[in-house]
Structure 1
Amino acid sequence: MSPVQFAAIGHRGRELSIEYTWIDAEAPDAPLLVFLHEGLGSVAMWRDFPAQLCAASGCRGLVYSRPGYGRSTPRRADERWPPDFLERQAREVLPAFLDTVGIDPRTQPVILFGHSDGGSIALIAAGEPASAWAGVIVMAPHLFAEDVSLISIRAIRDSYRSSDLRGRLARFHDDPDSAFYGWNDVWLDADFATFSLEAAVSRIRCPVLAIQGVDDEYGTMAQIDAIAARVADCSLLKLAACGHSPQRDQPEAVITAVVRWLQAPKSV
């Protein structure tokens, strides 16, 4: 990866600093994978997985931390993210960031690679009417809230308050409370219980690869099965002995599947 850089974007009356890094930026003609992290993720929390995937696939990579995470602008202490926070990231922050760093999906092949909340953001972006993504890869995405998701999110809130989890997250986030409570509070908001991306996913016209671990503690196979039921060109990978983070539990299987999918003819 290249050294971390920062991009300034305007969003709803604020100027935000976005942490990001490139992988193999010197190959401008290669397809670009844009990595969208999980609900507690950041540039650093991806570790070396994006570089490994780009090396195996011949793609370039762009990895960034959303506002509130990593070294990007933290969430204000009095700021509570609204139930449509995923939509705002997909429709407002992501396009503004890509425009700032000079990426236009209409003129170059760009593939969104999202994990968990990042996968949801990727799906929303792909469902936009004027979207021009070359494809979408999602791992453990959320299309709707399941009981298993909410049980696990309540449990990790208790762990954050009673264990060393806050200290461990502080290695990856300048403000771990910003990252944790921004994500945790909105997921446990009563108004978020009815959230659904099924309509947005039904509008996706680009190819999709959806990956889920059999032992995912934050969601079931119903999530990616719902994508397959709505997207014409959708491939599924269901991984045994794998939890919520396939890139950590089964990295070789994920990389092999992504490379195969990238090389396969697409039907749409």
Structure 2
Amino acid sequence: MDVTLTGETRLFYIVGDPIAQVKSPPALTAILMKRGANALLVPAHVAPADLELFLQAARATRNVDGIVVTVPHKLAALAHCDEPTERARFAGSTNVMRRGADGRWRGDNTDGQGYMDGIAACGFDVAGKTALLVGAGGAGAAIAYEILARGAAHLKVHDIDTARRDRIVGRLGERFPGRISVGDADPSGVDLVANATPLGMRDGDPLPVDATKLAGTQFVADVITKPEISPLLVAARALGCAIMPGAGMFNAQAELLVDRMLGMETA
């Protein structure tokens, strides 16, 4: 179905900094149209210092029905949700916001579900296994929760922002006692190595883990969609590891995002 742009077309934004790497606008617009919605998803490049102004403008624009939130705004955007879901509150972040009929903005976080659904689609089951997660930001917090909720035996979390790391380890430790601890960049001995940082998007970025200590029996997953195969995954694949690129996460959660964009919230 082709887009027919009219004065009745509803708008959704995807906001991030940078934004050129996102694949969401055509993919999610296609799903919206398939569901019969006269709506478009438009990319918005907004610096952190301007996020509050952007969200205020979105509230004032009456034909804006929702916002998909990407790096680095997921943590900050939660404060602008009038009604965050329990999952978003626990993660401390939101990746999708929707204006309700009452004018209140509801927020959810589908990152953890999408990431782990993508990994499962590649044939890896985290239940009973050990994992190292690098990155405790907006996506990382949601992924950490989902790894443990799906039955991982133990999760180690590494982040160079130690205060942020310790917050998520402490919060998850209360919910999943004895199954989470602080980790580092050494991926030795775990079954799943999960990157939830932007490292690898820019030339010259360091790898999020010490790739020399990867083993071919490990499953390695990344959130990065550009490049399609991140430097971490290039190194992992060369060692014989099974991998999931960021596209796997996106594909798995695309329908979930559109559900939330159209107001089909879940607890």
TM-score interval, smaller chain: 0.3 to 0.5
TM-score, normalised relative to structure 2: 0.38
TM-score, normalised relative to structure 1: 0.38
Q: Who wins on radius of gyration, i.e. which is larger? A: 2
Tell me which of the two structures has the higher relative contact order, counting C-alpha pairs closer than 8 angstroms and 6 or more residues apart. 1
